[in-house]
Every structure is written in structure tokens, then in C-alpha cells.
């Protein structure tokens, strides 16, 4: 283990056992290929200013980023739903705990998710001592209709924004957000269109976020020069927004396919 540097000015000193898979020329961006829990455990404490995470979840069959093949099989040969939920909550708690260790005392974390996972996230945050500042509602005004007609059209996603603890003096660029909102306090409801298919120029990621969403998050919760971490980097939207606004970026992603996609997207942005 290298010497720990607890100042936040230490992106160039992340001298951990894992080589970054990608690192830009001026070391403003790194992406590590591997397991978030392992890699986060090697980062120095309090080394990042802000975290954005769009975590995978294991319910309802699982997607490509999912270790769902490794589920706990219970008696009677059937998937036990509550057991699966507990397993998922354990995973959620673990990565949120690792994130909290590397987060600056005045830093904040933003976690997006749909119904399947967001309540586990919110509850785990509260259990771990995070202080939830807002439930931000991302309203996708162009959401596709439900094919089944058994409930309301799912047109929102929730983003939980939390400070590290009750004692934090967290960053919030209030005036900038007020300007962006046309002179009034910005509300927790954000109408932002979901990315169209044609916007996914370099490939597909199942939950790719619009850059406009990450722009707002980066601008609201960080300063120029800050280090922003995304432990489930995916297609790299967080990195694009971070660099676009003069922040530094550390991503972690376990699928090399997505790392390549993220690098291509970041390079196409001339950042």
C-alpha cells in the first residue's frame, strides 16, 4: 500500500496496485478496469470530492452487468424473492460504505436508480450515516409508453443526493442553479429528455444517462479541479461531463467493452 494522501489534490498520486486501464495525457481522467469493491478499497481515504453512481441491480432477471448467475439458491428449488432482496441490499451497503470512506468529509454522492433498487440504496445510505439532501426526480418527458396497461407509465428515475454526514458542510452551487432555473430556486424535479437512440453514437449501454443530466449534477455539486468518482462508469457520461467543466475524473468499470466505449466518447469530446 502506498503512502496515504488525504488531501483532495492527489489524483496523480493514486498509486495503487491496479494500473489504470486508461489515463489521459494530463492525468485529468482515469478509468480502472475491475471490481469496484476491490479498487475502491485501495484508494486513499477522503480522496474524491464528489461521487456519481448508477449501480447495477440483480432483480428481475438481470442484465449484462450483472452477476445474477451467482444468486443464492434456496430450498424448494425456487428463487426466494426476499432472500434476493437481502443479497442485493448487502451489495448496495458494501459499495456505499467503500464510497463513503473515499469521499471528502464535505463531499456529496449522487445515486440514480429505478424502483427496483433505489429504496435499498436510500435505506442503506441512512443506515450508513449519509444525510440525504434531496430525492431528485429526473422526469423523462419522452419516456416510451408501457406496453402492458397495468400501471402508470414509468417516466421518472430517482437520483438520491446525499452528504457524507450530518456534520458535512457540503458543496452546493446555489446561485448557479438559481440562474439556470431562470432566477428562482431550482426544484428537485428536473425535466430532461432521455437520450435518443441516434445519440448513442459509439455503442449501447443499457442505462446510458443524458449528458445534460450529468452536466447539472457536476455543476451543482463540485468546483473546477475537483475529483469526481464514478464506481460504475459504464459508457462514461460522468467523465464527459466532469472534463467538460474542468473537473477531474476517476471511473471504475468491470466490463472492458464499456471502458473502450467510454474512452472513445471522451476522446470525441476533445477533452
Partner DNA sequence: TATAAAGGTGAATCCGCAC
Partner DNA sequence: AGTGCGGATTCACCTTTAT
Per-residue contact flags (x/-) with DNA for residues 190 to 229, judged by CB under 7 A: ---x--xxx-------------------------------
* # residues near DNA by CB under 7 A: 19
Which among a copy of itself, DNA, none contacts residue 147 (Cβ within 5 to 8 A by kind)?
DNA
Distance CA(41)–CA(255), nearest Å, equals 19
Among 75, 82, 145, 201, binds DNA (CB under 7 A): 145
Which among a copy of itself, DNA, none contacts residue 196 (Cβ within 5 to 8 A by kind)?
DNA
Cβ 135 to a copy of itself shortest distance, Å: 5
Parallel/antiparallel/unpaired status of strands 22-23 and 29-33: antiparallel
Distance CA(198)–CA(182), nearest Å, equals 30
Per-residue contact flags (x/-) with DNA for residues 159 to 178, judged by CB under 7 A: ----------x--------x
Judged by CB under 7 A, does residue 149 bind DNA? yes
Cβ 251 to a copy of itself shortest distance, Å: 26
Residue 77 or 82 having the CB closest to a copy of itself = 82
Cβ 84 to a copy of itself shortest distance, Å: 9
Residue 214's alpha-carbon distances to 52, 155, 188, 204, in angstroms, are 9, 18, 15, 18
Per-residue contact flags (x/-) with DNA for residues 100 to 129, judged by CB under 7 A: ------------------------------
Distance CA(26)–CA(246), nearest Å, equals 12
Interface region with DNA, contact rule CB under 7 A, candidates 88-96, 147-155, 245-253, 257-265: 147-155
* Non-local CB neighbours of 173 within 8 Å, separated by 6+ positions: 219, 220, 221
Distance CA(1)–CA(44), nearest Å, equals 10
Report the interface residues with a copy of itself, using CB under 8 A: 81-82, 85-86, 89, 114-115, 118-123, 125-129, 132-137, 139, 143, 145-146, 149-156, 158, 161, 166, 170, 172, 174, 177, 184-189
Residue 21's alpha-carbon distances to 16, 36, 250, 260, 262, in angstroms, are 13, 14, 11, 9, 11
Distance CA(103)–CA(116), nearest Å, equals 26
Distance CA(121)–CA(124), nearest Å, equals 5
Which among a copy of itself, DNA, none contacts residue 60 (Cβ within 5 to 8 A by kind)?
DNA
Distance CA(233)–CA(31), nearest Å, equals 8
| Per-position b or e across 186-206, b if 16+ CB within 10 A of its CB | beeebebebbeeeeeeeeebe
Which among DNA, a copy of itself, none contacts residue 134 (Cβ within 5 to 8 A by kind)?
a copy of itself
Interface region with DNA, contact rule CB under 7 A, candidates 92-100, 142-150, 223-231, 260-268: 142-150
* Binding to DNA in span 20-79, by CB under 7 A: 60
Distance CA(128)–CA(271), nearest Å, equals 36
Residues that bind DNA (CB under 7 A): 60, 142-150, 169, 178, 183-185, 193, 196-198
Amino acid at each position: 500500500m502506498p503512502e496515504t494522501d488525504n488531501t483532495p489534490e492527489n489524483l496523480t498520486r493514486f498509486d495503487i496496485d491496479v494500473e489504470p486501464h486508461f489515463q489521459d495525457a494530463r492525468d485529468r481522467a482515469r478509468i480502472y478496469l475491475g471490481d469496484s469493491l476491490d479498487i475502491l478499497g485501495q484508494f486513499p481515504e477522503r480522496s474524491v470530492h464528489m461521487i456519481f453512481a448508477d449501480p447495477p441491480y440483480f432483480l428481475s432477471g438481470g442484465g449484462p452487468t450483472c452477476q445474477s448467475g451467482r444468486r443464492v439458491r434456496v430450498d424448494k428449488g425456487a428463487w426466494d424473492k426476499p432472500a434476493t432482496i437481502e443479497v442485493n441490499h448487502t451489495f448496495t451497503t458494501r459499495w456505499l460504505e467503500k464510497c463513503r470512506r473515499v469521499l471528502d468529509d464535505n463531499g456529496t454522492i449522487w445515486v440514480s436508480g429505478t424502483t427496483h433498487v433505489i429504496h435499498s440504496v436510500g435505506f442503506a445510505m441512512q443506515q450508513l450515516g449519509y444525510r440525504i439532501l434531496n430525492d431528485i426526480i429526473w422526469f423523462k418527458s419522452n419516456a416510451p409508453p408501457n406496453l402492458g396497461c397495468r400501471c402508470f407509465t414509468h417516466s421518472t428515475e430517482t437520483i438520491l443526493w446525499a452528504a457524507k454526514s450530518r456534520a458535512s458542510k457540503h458543496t452546493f452551487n446555489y446561485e448557479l442553479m438559481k440562474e439556470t432555473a431562470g432566477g428562482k430556486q431550482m426544484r428537485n424535479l428536473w425535466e430532461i429528455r432521455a437520450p435518443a437512440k441516434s445519440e448513442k453514437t459509439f455503442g449501447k449501454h443499457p442505462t446510458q444517462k443524458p449528458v445534460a443530466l450529468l452536466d447539472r449534477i457536476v455543476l451543482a455539486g463540485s468546483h473546477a479541479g475537483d475529483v469526481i468518482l464514478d464506481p460504475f462508469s459504464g459508457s462514461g457520461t460522468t467523465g464527459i461531463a466532469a472534463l467538460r467543466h474542468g473537473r477531474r475524473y476517476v471511473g471504475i468499470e468491470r466490463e472492458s467493452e464499456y471502458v473502450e466505449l467510454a474512452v472513445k466518447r471522451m476522446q470525441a469530446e476533445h477533452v
